[in-house]
Amino acid sequence: MKKSELKDFLDEKVKTYNHPKFIESDPIQIPHLFTLKEDIEIAGFLVATIAWGNRKSIINNGHRLVEIMGNSPYDFVMNFSEKNSEALSTFVHRTFNNEDLFYFLKALQNIYKNHEGLENVFAKYGEKDSMQSAIHHFKKIFFELPHLPRTQKHISDPLKNSAAKRINMFLRWMVRNDNAGVDFGIWKSISPSQLSCPLDVHSGNVARKLNLLKRKQNDGKALAELDSSLRKLDAKDPVKYDFALFGLGVFERF
């Protein structure tokens, strides 16, 4: 396909999948349970953190997380202490367990109490056309409290050549605002033009078939290559094509 044909093809697929019905089968349904900005952020961040593996399992455990937090994530985080920790005791999603969840809640509390919230931390370190350095700095702040070394693996570092799929997905949820009803657009201090595509096996395979990506591994270098290709199609909102790549891969077996 010529570049113009490829853009038309992908733009049509964006319209198909960037639609409220997409929410029904996606982990983004968990933050969509809320209207308060901080509730959306916290629910979104936690469910994005566990967003690997079987999608049904991710969604089920996302609902469990919300129940543990009494359906009020921000209130639960701000009042969280050792006394609340028993409620976490049975939670596990793959290698993310109750000890990891305990630290994540303490770290979120620290970010809201001492760093002006999640949006502020990411926006502070964002660059003109990238949030990858911001993710690196976010990870350093997130783990500034005493913690188990094992818990660090649940947040990726792009500066160590990770594609950081789950955090890039979370940022898409918070930042993009196109009135389609899927992404939230509640973070106004970051532009969609700064975002990177959540690169996983589905989007990566489709991107290679469409010659948007040549690198074989789904790592940080591949993400930079894909970013460059998508920005040529739409510099202002390159990550809208996540809907097209993911939809083609998961729903159409492209």
The per-residue pLDDT for range 132-170, each reduced to its tens digit, is 999 999 999 999 999 999 999 999 999 999 999 999 999
Q: Is 130 helix (H, G, I), strand (E, B) or coil?
A: strand
Distance set, CA 60 to CA 19, 57, 65, 90, 161 (Å) = 22, 5, 9, 14, 30
The 10s digit of each residue's pLDDT in 29-52 is 999 999 999 999 999 999 999 998
pLDDT (0 to 100) of residue 85: 84
Q: How many domains does the chain have?
A: 1
What mean pLDDT is reported for the chain?
A: 95
Q: Which range of residues forms the domain containing residue 104?
A: 3-250
For residues 238, 247, 67, 92, the Cα torsion angle rounded to the nearest 10 degrees is -100
pTM to 2 decimals? 0.96
Please say if the pLDDT value at position 186 is more than 80.
yes
List CB contacts of 127: < 8 A, sequence separation 6 or more. Answer: 133, 134, 194
pLDDT (0 to 100) of residue 1: 77
Question: Can you tell me the distance from the alpha carbon of 33 to that of 230, in angstroms, rounded to the nearest whole number?
Answer: 31
pLDDT (0 to 100) of residue 115: 97
The 10s digit of each residue's pLDDT in 77-108 is 999 998 878 889 889 999 999 999 999 999 99
Question: Can you tell me the distance from the alpha carbon of 105 to that of 218, in angstroms, rounded to the nearest whole number?
Answer: 29
pLDDT (0 to 100) of residue 116: 96
Of 1, 7, 2, the C-alpha closest to 230 is 7
pLDDT (0 to 100) of residue 229: 97
Element (H, E) at 200: none
- Residue pair 18/243 in contact (Cβ under 8 Å)? The answer is yes
Of 172, 154, 241, the C-alpha closest to 204 is 241
pLDDT (0 to 100) of residue 12: 97
pLDDT (0 to 100) of residue 73: 98
| Lookup result for tokens 């997380």 | 65
- Residue pair 71/35 in contact (Cβ under 8 Å)? The answer is no
CA 46 to chain centre: 9
| Beta partners for residue 93, in sequence order | 96
- Residue pair 168/198 in contact (Cβ under 8 Å)? The answer is yes
pLDDT (0 to 100) of residue 82: 85
The 10s digit of each residue's pLDDT in 63-82 is 999 999 999 999 999 999 98
pLDDT (0 to 100) of residue 65: 96
pLDDT (0 to 100) of residue 207: 97
pLDDT (0 to 100) of residue 151: 96
